Amino acid sequence: MPKQLFLKIFFGFWFVTVAQTAAILVLPKMLDSSLKVDPKLNAYHQKVAKTLQKSTNLDKTVKRLQHKMRPPHYLKKRIIKKRGRLDSIFVVNENNIGLKGERIPKDIYLALIQLEDKPKQRYFHYKRWGVYGPYKFEHGGQTYSLFIRDFEHKHRSQILNFLKENPWIVLAIAMIISAVICGLLAWHLSRPIRSLDRSAKRLAQGDLTARADKLALRYHDEIGQLAKSFNEMADSVQSMVNGQQRLLGDISHEIRTPLTRLQLANAIHRRQFGDNEELMRIEQETETIDKMLNQLLALSRSTLADEHPFEHTDFSFFMEDIIDNARFEAHQAQVELVNTIAPSLTVSVQWDSLASAIENIIRNAIRYAKQRVDFSAYQDADNLIINIVDDGCGVDDDHLNNLFTPFYRVSTSRDRKTGGTGLGLAIAHEAVKRHKGSIVASNNEQGGLTVTISLPLTSHTRGSSN
């Protein structure tokens, strides 16, 4: 496959470089050429100078030529405003004084000054017109200089002369053009990359359905190939994860059969020979394995696609049975459960999965609390915030980010002695993620652990709050 991305970058910057170089080399010549006099026009002006040179009465000849070369009709108003000073031709002597000793007009005076720096220049451009000259001629033993004003054709070089007088504008135009070209190239290249970045972040956050969109796929260069490779990788990752979860579920089902036989055999042996320490130990371990299998199956179902529908419900109503069961367990553990739920909070839930997630977290909090567990739910902007706080010993900060990893355990009082398997929080994490929410754990300043769940509220709740 040709390296089209390389070619885009190369030719883009190459074009900008060539354009700027051409502007630097060509524009000064264009500006200089704008001040050159057309050969035919120059010949005409020389002819006018010879006419003055051959004349017997210079003053009358000048007036006759001024009448003959008078400006067009549409310029008469401008000449009237200038009080007749804008004659088409003007003659000065060797001392730069007019024929009748009159004051030299400003434009002619400026042309004479510029001639000192550029003696070969024969055209001078000003705001409203241009001046041709000087054209030397002899008359009566004296040397005169002829200047001819150009009222009608000043627009021919007005822009170029303006650029010549303001070189910083040329530089600004070149910079703007190059910035626009480079900006378009950067936008063209970065647009699909940003799209791929969003897809990669979604995949990293656990959304196995994330894929590169059509924007990136329609590019026929390395970026388009990268998008296709990303989709192939995402397909493989989703297939492996789903296969792993199905295998986990299948293994759990297969283990349940011999486990059931073991429990049955243990029960028969106890009935025949009575209880002893070894049989009680076997029963305890089989119950632990059975609980772990149930949680593995729940984790597998929560990770794979679930066909259970979402339904809108009031959160207080949703929590009634969960809080009642939690109060009973808290009473048995001699722990106080304080419940605070704001009214009129409507959420969209998969009933079983979210109920199981919150039950697991509350049960953990009761198990590790010393005296009290606080459950609260309130609205924050467009989200429902749920806090479950216990006053236990908490968790080392190094372990907080891994609490929701399956089978992850910490080497504190939160160990297997409490009956945990390391799967409850993982199941809760998957359930919350399915509800497009987030779950985090943090230590309290006074001791203990806080688990915070954030869930999106329905539009009905958001509208009523507004």
Active-site positions read 253
Distance CA 300, CA 252 (A): 10
Q: Find how far residue 271's CA is from the centre of its chain.
A: 71
* Residue 302 CB-density burial (10 A; 0-12 exposed, 13-18 middle, 19+ buried): buried
CA dihedral (52, 53, 54, 58) positive or negative: positive
Spell 381-391 as b/e; 16+ CB within 10 A means b. eebbbbebbbb
The kind and range of the H/E element at 299 are: helix 277-303
Spell 399-423 as b/e; 16+ CB within 10 A means b. bbeebbebeeeeeeebeeeeebbbb
Distance CA 136, CA 50 (A): 9
Structure tokens at 165: 């007088």
Residue 426's nearest CA partner among 322, 325, 311, 292 is 292
Distance CA 230, CA 212 (A): 7
Residue written as tokens 């264009």?
30
The residues near 329 (Cβ < 8 Å, ≥ 6 apart) are: 363, 366
Angle, vertex CA 351, rays to CA 346 and CA 355, nearest 5:
95
* Residue 92 CB-density burial (10 A; 0-12 exposed, 13-18 middle, 19+ buried): buried
